[in-house]
């Protein structure tokens, strides 16, 4: 142990090898559900130091868990007993090439920091979620993060052109291309994005930037039922030329949760409504196009009776107030314990059906359990939260399985944007095609034959296929 720590200190400097009480910030995930102290927290300064750490770890057979902003919700960055490789010092924004609309950044660059730098040149990195002030590029690439802007710009994978990856044996795989077309062999970039550090450690990336919108219009829209919402989105897209950036659903229980954690905040409308939608449209040119389209569609929907109320933000302060409610989702969900937080998706036109059916199924298993949801309605991604009546691991596993099962029955997924980590190993075993799992394990074995990269996450053991164990 002392020899390993000394060797690590030779690589990164003694001040960047943390042990004992110094590792406290890395001892649990953001949720607090997963806890375990790492062997040491190592903070390399660049790619070469990452490579040297991995060569040492491979030589001694020591597990390595990459950690970025540690904002994950599934235990994917828990480094209990392993070297927790913190990438926060790899925080250089190497360049922004405005004409090509790309940024070359290191893995430790915080999403909001990239956006601030891009904004100086009239550009943005359009990945929007509540943790963007602490989440780092390496982490969002490793989980293929989503967020509120997926409807318009896609997931993180869609915003990445190239990556730099250090493999388990310390070799560097340079895929840092800025090309939009590149059919030279297997797409290894997409293989490592979303792999949760299982196949290599992303140390840098070439990212797509988009122009800052010149016109943004944001509104809260109330409905009595969610069923017409998909049609409303289609009407908005048709009227605006696909200018809808975000289409977010918040039920009344979510609004009440926000009022609980932010008691000085205001209700979204004068009267409470069961369905509350946050809608945002944007255009690169100044003008009334998006606003006129929104007003026209909402007027028609109100006349038809599908929309019961609407409030359009009149200034940036009002817009930020609307978004603050939606972006508080994690704090709202985890304000009570015990809690089951999930991340499922179904086809967009089946979201209302899912939400109608899941509540009774959960109440049948645990009468009196609390229920809440929030959704990226434009892409069918539902964050469904259940508050069991007792802190019983068997009951909680049963309720989580019920949430996943209905999503799969509706041709959805148990993992939409947060990754698999530890919390979704059981549904991976239960629902993932066994041949696909075998292929994933073969790839893992080829690139990490010792199994030292983020072990125990993402991939269930081979014997767990279809058992749910």
CATH 3.30.70.2190 range(s) for the chain read: 215-330
Task: Tell me where in the chain the CATH 3.30.43.10 domain(s) lie.
Answer: 2-86
Separation of alpha carbons 194 and 208, rounded Å: 17
Distance CA 115, CA 4 (A): 38
Residue 267 CA from chain centroid, whole number: 27
Non-local (6+) Cβ contacts of 375 within 8 A are 248, 249, 351, 381, 382, 383
42 has which bridge partners? Answer: 17, 85
CATH topology of domain 336-427: Alpha-Beta Plaits (3.30.70)
* Whether the bond into 265 is cis, omega within 30 of 0: no
Supply the Cα-derived Rg of the chain in whole angstroms: 23
Q: Which CATH number fits domain 93-211: 3.30.465.10, 3.30.1360.120, 2.40.37.20, 3.30.930.10?
A: 3.30.465.10
Find tokens 């990164």 and name the residue.
12
- Give the closest residue to 376 by CA, choosing from 414, 337, 334, 327: 327
* Helical axes 351-365 vs 229-240, angle rounded to 10°: 150
CATH 3.30.70.2740 domain residues, the chain: 336-427
Cβ atoms within 10 Å, residue 231: 13
Instruction: Residue 223: name the closest of 318, 292, 294, 310 by CA.
Output: 310
Q: Pairing state of beta strands 83-86 and 64-67?
A: parallel
Q: Which residues pair with 247 in a beta bridge?
A: 279
**What pLDDT does 463 receive?**
76
Do the beta carbons of residue 83 and residue 44 sit within 8 Å? no
CATH number of 215-330: 3.30.70.2190
DSSP annotation string for 190-213: HHHTTSTTSS-EEEEEEEE-EEPP
N-term to C-term CA, the chain = 33
pLDDT at position 466: 58
Query: Which of the 8 DSSP states describes residue 463?
Result: G
What pLDDT was estimated at residue 411? 97
Q: Are strands 381-387 and 344-345 parallel, antiparallel or unpaired?
A: antiparallel
Q: Strand 40-42 vs strand 83-86: parallel, antiparallel, or unpaired?
A: parallel
For residue 467, the model assigns a pLDDT of 46
Looking at residue 278, its pLDDT comes to 98
DSSP E strands, 136-200: 160-166, 172-175
Separation between Cα atoms, residue 121 and residue 434, nearest integer Å: 47
Q: What is the pLDDT at residue 469?
A: 40
- The reported pTM is 0.93
The greatest distance separating any two alpha carbons of the chain, rounded to the nearest whole angstrom, comes to 75
State which fold the 2-86 domain adopts.
3.30.43
Which residues of the chain, if any, have pLDDT below 50? 467-469
CB-based contact 57:452 (threshold 8 Å): yes
pLDDT on residue 265: 93
pLDDT of residue 465: 56
Q: 117: closest CA among 135, 87, 91?
A: 91
């Amino acid at each position: 142990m002392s020899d390993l720590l000394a060797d690590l200190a030779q690589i990164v400097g003694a001040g960047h090898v943390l042990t004992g009480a110094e590792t406290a910030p890395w001892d649990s995930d953001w949720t607090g559900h997963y806890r375990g102290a790492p062997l040491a927290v190592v903070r390399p300064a660049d790619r070469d130091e990452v490579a040297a750490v991995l060569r040492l770890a491979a030589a001694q057979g020591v597990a390595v868990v990459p950690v970025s902003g540690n904002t994950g919700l599934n235990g994917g960055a828990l480094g209990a007993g392993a070297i927790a490789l913190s990438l926060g010092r790899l925080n250089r924004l190497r360049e922004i090439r405005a004409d090509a609309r790309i940024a070359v950044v290191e893995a430790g660059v915080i999403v909001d920091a990239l956006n601030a730098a891009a904004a100086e040149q009239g550009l943005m990195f359009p990945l929007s979620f509540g943790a963007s002030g602490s989440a780092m590029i390496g982490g969002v690439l490793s989980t293929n993060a989503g967020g509120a802007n997926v409807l318009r710009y896609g997931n993180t994978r869609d915003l990445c052109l190239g990556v730099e990856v250090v493999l388990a044996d310390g070799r560097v795989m340079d895929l840092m291309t800025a090309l939009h077309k590149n059919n030279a062999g297997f797409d290894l970039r997409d293989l490592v994005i979303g792999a949760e550090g299982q196949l290599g450690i992303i140390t840098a990336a070439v990212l797509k930037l988009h122009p800052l919108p010149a016109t943004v219009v944001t509104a809260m829209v109330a409905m009595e039922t969610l069923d017409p919402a998909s049609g409303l989105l289609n009407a908005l897209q048709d009227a605006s030329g696909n200018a809808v950036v975000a289409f977010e659903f918040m039920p009344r229980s979510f609004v009440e949760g926000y009022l609980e954690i932010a008691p000085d905040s205001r209700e979204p409308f004068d009267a409470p409504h069961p369905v509350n939608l946050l809608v945002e449209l944007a255009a690169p040119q100044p003008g009334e196009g998006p606003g006129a389209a929104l007003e026209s569609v909402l007027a028609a929907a109100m006349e038809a009776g599908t929309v019961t109320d609407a409030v359009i933000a009149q200034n940036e302060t009002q817009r930020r107030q609307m978004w603050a409610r939606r972006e508080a989702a994690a704090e709202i969900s985890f304000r009570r314990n015990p809690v089951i937080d999930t991340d499922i998706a179904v086809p967009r036109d089946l979201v209302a059906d899912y939400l109608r059916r899941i509540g009774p199924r959960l109440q049948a298993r645990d009468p009196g359990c609390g229920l809440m949801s929030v959704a990226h309605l434009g892409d069918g991604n539902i964050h469904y939260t259940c508050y069991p009546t007792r802190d019983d691991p068997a009951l909680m596993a049963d309720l989580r399985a019920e949430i996943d099962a209905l999503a799969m029955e509706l041709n959805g997924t148990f993992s939409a944007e947060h990754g698999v980590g530890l919390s979704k190993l059981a549904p991976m075993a239960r629902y993932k095609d066994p041949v696909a799992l075998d292929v994933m394990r073969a790839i893992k074995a080829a690139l990490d034959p010792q199994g030292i990269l983020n072990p125990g996450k993402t991939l269930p053991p081979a014997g767990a296929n279809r058992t749910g164990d």
